[in-house]
């Protein structure tokens, strides 16, 4: 499968990468622009990037969740998450001691089998949490897809990038049924 795709704009190509790699490709200039979830950007740290536009899609929340009806244990907490950097920063800012356990899926299982006291994960409807006897406890951040731009590209290709940002802003603010007119 091809990973670089042409578009109807001669100066624009689409590069297919993992969502978690988008900020790295943009940061290092392998791509001028990218689309990434705010959760990915928070975990990445955002160095070398501008974030000019909230695309208002894929909305959810990054949450701390735990077992229903369980009191918070005293002492050092164990938190299972794939967002280790965000989790450490969040709890450190509150002066809470945590041990972060890095997982890549099925976070909800960790508190059920005693691996962790809590999880940090993205939550949309909360149905998966409920189905596993968990509840959202604290909101770390509101999440949606964001346009990101390489800082050097913004300076070197300012006019073209501003034009693209303007077109995307127009699409984001347009009623959904008239999107084909952008």
Q: What is the pLDDT of residue 132?
A: 96
Q: Are residues 167 and 110 in the same domain?
A: no
Average pLDDT, the chain: 93
Q: Which two tokens stand for residue 71?
A: 């009191």
Q: Are residues 34 and 66 in the same domain?
A: no
Q: Which two tokens stand for residue 123?
A: 């939550």
- Residues in the chain where the model's pLDDT stays below 50: none
Q: What is the DSSP letter of 177?
A: G
The three-state secondary structure class of 15 is: strand
The three-state secondary structure class of 146 is: strand
Q: What is the pLDDT of residue 101?
A: 98
Q: Are residues 67 and 128 in the same domain?
A: yes
Q: What is the pLDDT of residue 46?
A: 87
Q: What is the pLDDT of residue 73?
A: 74
The three-state secondary structure class of 74 is: coil
Q: What is the DSSP letter of 106?
A: -
**Contacts of 31 by beta carbon, 8 Å cutoff, 6+ apart:** 15, 22, 25, 150
Q: Are residues 153 and 164 in the same domain?
A: yes
Q: What is the pLDDT of residue 70?
A: 80
pTM: 0.89
């Amino acid at each position: 499968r091809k990973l670089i795709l042409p578009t109807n704009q001669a100066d624009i190509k689409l590069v297919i990468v993992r969502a978690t790699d988008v900020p790295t490709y943009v940061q290092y200039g392998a791509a001028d622009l990218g689309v990434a979830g705010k959760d990915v950007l928070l975990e990445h740290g955002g160095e070398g990037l501008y974030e000019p536009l909230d695309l208002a899609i894929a909305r959810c929340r990054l949450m701390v969740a735990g077992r229903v009806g369980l009191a918070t244990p005293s002492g050092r907490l164990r938190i299972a998450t794939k967002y280790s950097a965000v989790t450490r920063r969040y709890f450190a800012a509150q002066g809470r001691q945590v041990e972060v356990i890095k997982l890549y899926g099925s976070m909800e299982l960790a508190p059920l089998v005693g691996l962790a006291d809590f999880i940090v994960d993205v939550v949309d409807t909360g149905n998966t949490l409920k189905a596993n006897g968990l509840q959202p406890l604290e909101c770390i951040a509101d999440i949606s897809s964001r346009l990101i731009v390489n800082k050097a590209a913004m300076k070197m290709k300012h006019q073209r990038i501003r034009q693209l940002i303007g077109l995307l802003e127009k699409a984001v603010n347009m009623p959904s049924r008239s999107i084909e007119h952008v």
